[in-house]
Structure 1
Amino acid sequence: MNLALPRRAAAEFAGTALLVAAVVGSGIAAARLSPDDVGLQLLENAIATALALGALILTFGPVSGAHFNPVVSAVDWWLGRRAGTGLTPRDLAAYTGAQVTGAIAGAILADLMFGLPAVTFSGTARTGGNLWLAEVVATAGLVVLIFALARSGRSAAAPAAVGAYIGAAYWFTSSTSFANPAVTIGRAFTDTFAGIMPTSVPGFVAAQLAGGLLAVAALALWYPDSGDAADAVVVPRLGEEENR
């Protein structure tokens, strides 16, 4: 039996909040410590994010699966619906709400930890076909990786593999790999290194959803029965009796 939905949603809220706090907080620290070197700032931000993501998957994975991403949750529901695995529509709604509100809370937390106003909407414009294409690629690659690991019985590698992918994608995508609608929305609430202008959010989210659709098509080709392993995304959740 899976853990109760409120308990899992709380884990998704906390995990996504801490992920965004890591992204935003490390961006603020990088800008302060290396004010004259944007490349070094990005490196510091990428390393901190990758390490934090791996640790958060280890922490919250046994409770909720550690999705922290509405696209991952939506694909989990879609692929698992016929096999009776993965999220139900009710789960998906709860996870998505928890992830989005958690992301906003994480951005506010990071701002407060660094002595900034709790909310200052970002003035950093991130728009253009090249950035949207990068988000399609980053999101599709992330989703395929997660489901490939689950279907091939290698979910234990997810903390390291997912963290490594996001850390690398900071550098091989022009958008620096947001790859997550909730994180994108949260990062609009901070006018810092990691921020994104609110008017740029819809384009990024649309590209991320397109990336999720591309991932579904790729998984149908390469892992046609990946829905059978939807309960193991990102990592397997424990049953109620196992987690006591």
Structure 2
Amino acid sequence: MNTVTRKLVAEFLGTALLVTVVVGSGIAAEQLSPGQTGLQLLENSTATALGLAVLILVFGPISGAHFNPVVSVADWFLGRRRGTGLRAIELAGYIPAQVAGGLLGAALANAMFDLGVIQISRHDRLTAGHLLGEVVATAGLLAVIFALARSGRAALSAAAVGAYIGAAYWFTSSTSFANPAVTVGRIFSDTFAGIAPGSVPGYIAAQVLGAALGLTAVTWLYPDSAATADAVTVPHERTGNLPTSS
């Protein structure tokens, strides 16, 4: 199996398992703590933060553990002139793999809890506050990832990214989706973790805006960020080469 294929499989599986963690822990929280929204959020956010950190450790050395289209686009954009970061052919595969993984992850979580494998969420999340929350959450996520790479601390990304997402569940009104692939996957869970289809376009637009703001901040604070684009989220294999290091 060539390097590009292995990267795409890693992104597919990693995103699928991430959505399984998000949706599955949301279903479990709803069943274990009915009517206790704060406790449900604590259970969901704790599982997500820990699960994300583990998935970055497992899949990061292969694909960088992006699991997120806006991270992949930012990585390609930042490194395109320096020959670092994702190549265009990889980007063209990463995004479909991530979205497909998100869909599988939601279906898998539903099946594990004996729910309908394919559901459509009725959880409307579209308010101005929620959209602002997604801008903030995504900008912060991009800033954390790229700042760690630029400062030679990408090895800390598993812990830092997991901790950031866990915290952002609580300090953003949207509970920090911050990921278009995860957002699309969560359409198919009519549970605590779901999102109604009508809310999705606004969320994705807010995530794109947040990613642009976060990347702008990082490139201003760290002017030579492009040099370390291939260490996002963590140092990983480059196509046709041995694994890179930070």
Aligned residue in 2 for 1:120 = 119
Which of 102-111 and 217-226 deviates more?
A: 217-226
Conservation of the 8 A alpha-carbon contact between 2:106 and 2:188: yes
- 2:154 & 2:47 partners in 1: Cα distance? 22
The alpha carbon displacement at 1:241 in A equals: 5.1
Percent identity over paired residues: 62
- 2:40 & 2:5 partners in 1: Cα distance? 37
Segments of 4+ moved more than 3 angstroms = 238-243
Aligned residue in 2 for 1:80 = 79
- 1:143 & 1:217 partners in 2: Cα distance? 10
Which of 223-232 and 10-19 deviates more?
A: 223-232
The alpha carbon displacement at 1:217 in A equals: 1.4
TM-score by length of 2: 0.96
CA distances 1:99-121 after superposition (whole Å, capped 9, x unpaired): 00000000000000000011110
Which of 217-226 and 12-21 deviates more?
A: 217-226
Q: 1:37 to 1:215 in 2, by over 3 A?
A: same
- 2:168 & 2:219 partners in 1: Cα distance? 24
Conservation of the 8 A alpha-carbon contact between 2:236 and 2:243: no
Aligned residue in 1 for 2:192 = 193
Aligned residue in 2 for 1:131 = 130
- 1:216 & 1:9 partners in 2: Cα distance? 24
Unaligned runs of 5+ in 1: none
The alpha carbon displacement at 1:220 in A equals: 2.2
The alpha carbon displacement at 1:129 in A equals: 1.1
TM-score by length of 1: 0.96
Aligned residue in 2 for 1:26 = 25
- 2:220 & 2:84 partners in 1: Cα distance? 20
Aligned residue in 2 for 1:232 = 231
Aligned residue in 2 for 1:67 = 66
AA at the equivalent of 1:67? H
RMSD: 1.2
Secondary structure at the counterpart of residue 193 of structure 1: coil
Conservation of the 8 A alpha-carbon contact between 2:61 and 2:243: no
The answer to whether 1:166 aligns with 2:165 is yes
CA distances 1:74-123 after superposition (whole Å, capped 9, x unpaired): 00000001111001121111000000000000000000000001111000
- 1:237 & 1:134 partners in 2: Cα distance? 31
CA distances 1:6-48 after superposition (whole Å, capped 9, x unpaired): 1100000000000000000000000000002110000000000
